[in-house]
Amino acid sequence: MDKVREKGRVIRALGAMSGTSLDGVDAAVLDTDGVSINAFGPAQYRPYTDTERDVLRAALGKWTGPELPQASEAVMDAHVDVLARHDAVDLIGFHGQTVAHAPRMQGTLQIGDGAALADRLQTPVVWDFRSADVELGGEGAPLAPFFHFACARWIGAQEPVAFLNLGGVGNLTWVDPSAAKPEDEGALLAFDTGPANAPVNDLVSDRLGLPFDKDGALAAKGTVEAGALELFLAEPYFARIPPKSLDRNDFSEMIALVSELSDADAAATLTAMCAAGVAEAMQHCPAPPSRVLVTGGGRRNPVLMQMLAVSLDCPVAPVEDVGLDGDMLEAQAFAYLAVRVARGLPTSCPGTTGVRAAVGGGTVSIPRNA
């Protein structure tokens, strides 16, 4: 652990992320000193089984109850399965699975025990990344922006650039790469744009028994219902000044708005709602970004990407166009954040979560038998 805490030394960290789309666990290795990206290492993906996904869905929105221990066990087993495939790492960043998020009320809840994970893998684990931010008045999300700042530097960006993550919920990070540090005033602005893949995933799961709308094939056959889209955009969330964040189910009424539509029209309308939320979000950027780089599963949906291209005033492209991995960017982010936590560096700031001052969250757990 002394090596991990030695400032300036490049170490090999392994990050894991299980997002609100409930597709599975991403695990990725990153070589970093907690400031710069030195190298990207190997990555693995472990999908949740149908049974595991059902268990996790049953826990969504719950703060207590019998569903949580079973869901936590599923999360832990899946993470051990994929993380154990990586050896010779110095540190693990474990996000856990968010099941409830209401920072202005109860707080935020990620299930999974980082201390138990450290014991099972015999490697130090950084976890519980969000609690300290919420306790200091922050939203606790999004947390990837500090890594996005490092990514903007890694790709050599000279002008402001935006990273758009389209997972279960959408979130946007506006980056000014000319700033010295991510926590500097004006370096970052980050917030959730609105629902992304979660409503479409739930729709096709409930109606067709499918995990998601592969390649936007269903949406491509449908027509957007303008009235439902107009009602969606009337939601007060879009007018709120960022930073701001959402729970996966905050826009659950979207499904009700499309309940009378055909499968194809409903999928098209929900996909259009995601794109419209992003377009509304762009109005909050301090300056127009030179381009929007899309990460997360949504970038694989050509219907959604076309909607974004039409509705935004700057180029839109998947992050692969600049040499990044859109499937693993969030897992890499938690590897990066784990190193920052271990070295006492901030992981969020007023511009990313609305926290009162830059703060480094996270708990470091050392294996008991190490």
Q: Where are the domains of the chain?
A: 2-135+331-365, 156-322
Contacts of 31 (CB under 8 A, 6+ apart): 10, 11, 12, 13, 37, 38, 39, 40, 41
Query: Rounded to whole angstroms, how far apart are CA atoms 290 and 313?
Result: 9
Measured CA to CA, the distance from residue 124 to residue 88 in angstroms comes to 12
pLDDT of res. 356: 94
Q: What is the pLDDT of residue 1?
A: 67
What's the confidence (pLDDT) of residue 328?
96
pTM of the model: 0.93
Q: What angle do CA 53, 55, 58 make, to 5 degrees?
A: 110
For 2-135+331-365, CATH gives 3.30.420.40
What does the pLDDT profile of the chain (370 residues) look like in tens digits?
Answer: 666 777 779 999 999 999 877 889 999 999 999 999 999 999 999 999 999 999 999 999 999 999 999 999 999 999 999 999 998 999 999 999 999 988 877 789 999 999 999 999 999 999 999 999 999 999 998 999 999 999 999 999 999 999 999 988 999 999 999 999 999 999 999 999 999 998 999 999 999 999 899 999 999 999 999 999 999 999 999 999 998 988 777 888 888 899 999 999 999 999 999 999 999 999 999 999 999 999 999 999 999 999 999 999 999 999 999 999 999 999 999 999 999 999 999 999 999 999 999 999 899 999 997 6
Architecture of domain 156-322: 2-Layer Sandwich (3.30)
Q: Residue 206 in contact with residue 185, Cβ under 8 Å?
A: no
DSSP codes, 185-208: TTSEEEEEEEE-HHHHHHHHHHHH
Predicted pLDDT at 370: 66
Which pLDDT value is given to residue 247? Answer: 79
193 Cβ neighbours under 8 A, 6+ residues apart: 164, 170, 171, 172, 277, 278, 280, 281
The token pair at 291 is 């381009």
| Burial class (CB within 10 angstroms; exposed 0-12, middle 13-18, buried 19+) of 344 | exposed
Sign of CA dihedral 154, 157, 162, 164: negative
Residue 254 is predicted with a pLDDT of: 83
CA proximity to 151, closest of 42, 40, 37: 37
Rounded to 10 degrees, what is the CA torsion of 312, 237, 147, 352? 120
